[in-house]
Chain A
Amino acid sequence: MNEVQYIGERLWAGHLGNGFVVLSFVSALFACLAFYLSYKQPAYLKLARLAFSVHGLSVVGIAATLFLMLFNHYFEYQYVWQHSNTEMDMKYILSCFWEGQEGSFLLWTFWNVVLGMILKRQLKDGMWEVPVMTVFALVQVFLASMLLGIYIGDYKIGSNPFLLLREHPEYHDLPFVKMPNYLAKLNGRGLNPLLMNYWMTIHPPTLFLGFASTLIPFAFAIAAFWNGQYTKWQAVALPWTYFGVLVLGVGILMGGAWAYEALNFGGFWAWDPVENASLVPWLVLVAAAHTMIINKNKGGSLFTTHFLSIASFLLVLYSTFLTRSGVLGSASVHAFTDLGMTGQLVLYVLTFIFISVALLVKDSLFRVTYVVVSFLLLFFSVIYGYKKIVLMAWIISSTVITIISYYKYFPKEKEEEELFSREFWMFLGALVLILSSLIITYFTSIPVINKLFNTDYAPPKVPVYNTWMVPFVIILMVLIGASQFLKYKKTEPKKFFKRISYTFILALFFGLVCSIPLYFMNDFSQANGQRKWELVSYSLLFITGLFAVFANIDYWVMILKGRVSKSGSAIAHIGFALLLIGALISTSKKSVISRNTSNKDVSALGEDFDAQESLLLTQGDTLPMGPYLVTYTGKRRKGIDVYFNIDYLKPDPKGKPAFDFSLEAHVQDNPRMGSAADPATRHYLNRDVYTFITSAILSFDTAAAKKNAFGSAKNYIGHVGDTIFSSNAFVIIDSLRTNLSKAEYEKNDSLLEVTAVLRCINTQSKTFIAYPKFIIKKNVVIPMEDIVDELGLKLVFWKINPDDGTIEITMSEKLSNTRDFIVIKAFVFPWINVLWLGCLTMAIGTIIAIVERMRKFRMQKST
């Protein structure tokens, strides 16, 4: 019955793609085995290299096939249908490629292959080729399996980008599946319009290249566990680690810039779980890079280096699990949907922990016991359940075994490090990075902790992160500033303190000069205890940040004599300190200028409630907002975006408001995602004025359709001489006229007509007269309305109260009278450009350091 002959399907593409998928998996598995065997039998090496090359080509093949399908709109494939359509701009086709999970895993695999190929050439015939490439190939086995999309029993392994739409489990019984020519009538669902910007084209590939580069130090560390050469890999791995620090760092900051420019996070960093998940591996990688330098220059911190190199990659895997498994649920604005790969991702993380621990154990009986017990536990939990308890038992025992192995098998330093030595202070810095990573990981993992322990803790808010991180950053800044002036091994403390005291005094002076007006002049006296502490810590951060900048400039100019080749670390550290100073000022002195004047004091509810941060702007009105006067002038629609134009005015020298600039904040009225507000920002050298819409009427047509309808009537009671206010005029009850006197009416029992004379004066002081009438005939009241067309007002005079002589009039306004309005929020971010300058400086410094390390490595090799 299901023998429908479909017309126009290009099944060859799917077969080709699937062929590459299977080939990439099998060749990775083969390469891994062959590399492993060639550790003892070098004969396998040629085969292993060949298999890895085949793997690389097949991954390129997968990517090329998928790209071809997207480019030519093969909507019979679910991935193409879901992420693209015929109307979209072809420049976003790359974004479609990695919008979905399968595509982003593919991107990751692709970068691994690129790095693997380069590394394979670099290490060829050296002592590291075999063990490092074994690890590389093993990771590729796991990643390649993510694209398999096959079922083993009920377990689904991977998710395949070449699945046909009509075979997708969600759609396979829809009516279109029975139509042979469905394809001719099918259009894709299209790329999410929120992602149609240039950040989506550059941010994911950069970030994934960063993720991929954490694999290199990981592979070396595992390789060293395997062959016991703990000190011989750092020189090779160091430029690569710097490369990872650079690319991952740039990738993360691009995400921040994207959030700042195009999303309404209200800043560049929101401690969102997805952001944290990429920040933590970066912090750990930075720590690893620093301990590697210690290894190279002095020895020591060996175990820490291995631990950090492994942790950085495992944290990338863990963050993939966090963001891809759906465990974050409502905790994140990103949160991807669950593709049913949670189990697989957890298993991968655990497998690599298992391999690391097993290799660390050097006693073969001990190792076999660990392996056997681990597998027994795995089978036990698969068959009998108790997954959480088994998992915790295994993690605890693995930790204990790691500690024991460290004491039993790992080479240790004989001599203790001097207190005043560069290696000790660098190590302290690494520890601070580790501790902050631990805390961020813990906060981010609260949803996981809830799952494991059946608790119901809520994820912390942004200020919690800030409060915890500031003290660590202060310590880091001091270390960054001072450490360069310490020598390896030992430094005379007196000389050291004298050397750094100049820059410290300079920083203290400038820091206080700046932070007194920033933090102490206005805020400090009114602040409560907690806030006082915050202000002190901000100003400490400011001073130590300046110290880090000054000290590194000093080091570069005075000690390195301004040489560029050696300046990498000094420049990168200046950049990092500037970045944090920029982040500090722009965040802590961010001011909300859109304060409203509703005067409703809700501060009694607590600090978090003292908001009143939005401002209502009615079209045409001009309101004061911070140092500006603002006017909402109107809206226009372009595609799915509605643009709201806001003019900013500033008093000119004569005190008259003059046009300064205008911002077009827009709201995307997105059929797939709902509406989303995108901020508009006016950039200045020393500040950004940032505005976004929090509430607005997006539709244009309702106003037009109801142009002639009147809104609900409002009743007014008053005397002659009173005034009624409409939205566009005021209405004065001028006088009442009657056709008869009261006596005549009672005598004749005839018609009584009372006319209200209403003077309606509009905003241009133009007067219109309305004559609504009140008619009584034989005790029946007939009100006669009057409409002022020019003002869109309907007035009905319907009651006279004989007791107090008041009259009652209802007034209704045309719906088109009610003017359009928007509710906005506006912030000023001072000195945010310091942050971007810091990013740039840090990237330049890191590039210089990479070049220098590569040069040193080549020199070392050639001698």
Chain B
Amino acid sequence: MGRYILRRLIQAIPVLLGATLLIYAIVFALPGDPIAALAGEKRMDPDIVAILRERYHLNDPFLVQYWYYIVGLFGGDFGTTYAGVGVGEIMAGKFQVTINLAATALAMEAVIGVGLGLYAALRQGRAGDSTILASTLVLISVPTLVTGFVLQLLLGVKLKQAGIDLFPVAGVTEGWRGYLLPGFVLAGTSIAYLTRLTRNSLVEIMRADYIRTAVAKGLPRKRIVGRHALRNALIPLVTYLGADLGALMGGAVITETIFNLPGIGQQLFSSVYLREQPVVVGIVTVLVLIYILANLVVDLLYAVLDPRIRYE
């Protein structure tokens, strides 16, 4: 087990290096001079410019700059912006917001998606099943951009005007309730996918021989569905949820913009325009790390869910 984890982590290093190199190259190519951007409209003292360029290795070739960055990164240092603020500090608060948002979305996905899928599978071919399948198609197709504004209008504003203030629509000052609506909007497409995935794998499993045996043994239906069917259907669902965590965090930028949440998407956006290149690279690097770790956790969960799977 320990050796398996170690091997996976070593295998992840080329992916991490490749992804950071790619992002570093893109950020390197961003137009504009970061040091000149520090001074805004004013001209800067050439001596100060020279000192700053020297300190941030801006005169070195691209690969040397990348080397300095990656050495710092493996020591746990995300570097500083050209104004001298630690990138780790800037990112911590922003990631908190995005993680809250993505976790809310993931929880909704798991509860609503699996719940609806289970309901549809047990009523296969009946009206409830067809209604759920048709609504997943719509939910998959309506972009976040649209669900975000429509739900903001309906639930956030119209409902509040009607006297029911359930879902605050903007800002982080409202506490966890402020994440409910954005979380649902972010999870929308994934809820629909998970519903379909749950339904399809359960429908297939309910036809399996061991389910027939369980029915023949006279087990209560609850136990058959819960212990025999659902447990065996979990592997594809866990895979999907694990892969989705990274996608949710990376895709949160539109939701954050609609609901005015100060997360990493907004930070990345402003950093691109302020030419704070270390922040941009740092954010993407952390997202890549989350993606790699989430996939590793999913693979380890397989062994928990299916005892036949063993890692040496």
Q: Do A and B come from one complex?
A: no
Interface residues of A (CB under 8 A from B): none
Interface residues of B (CB under 8 A from A): none
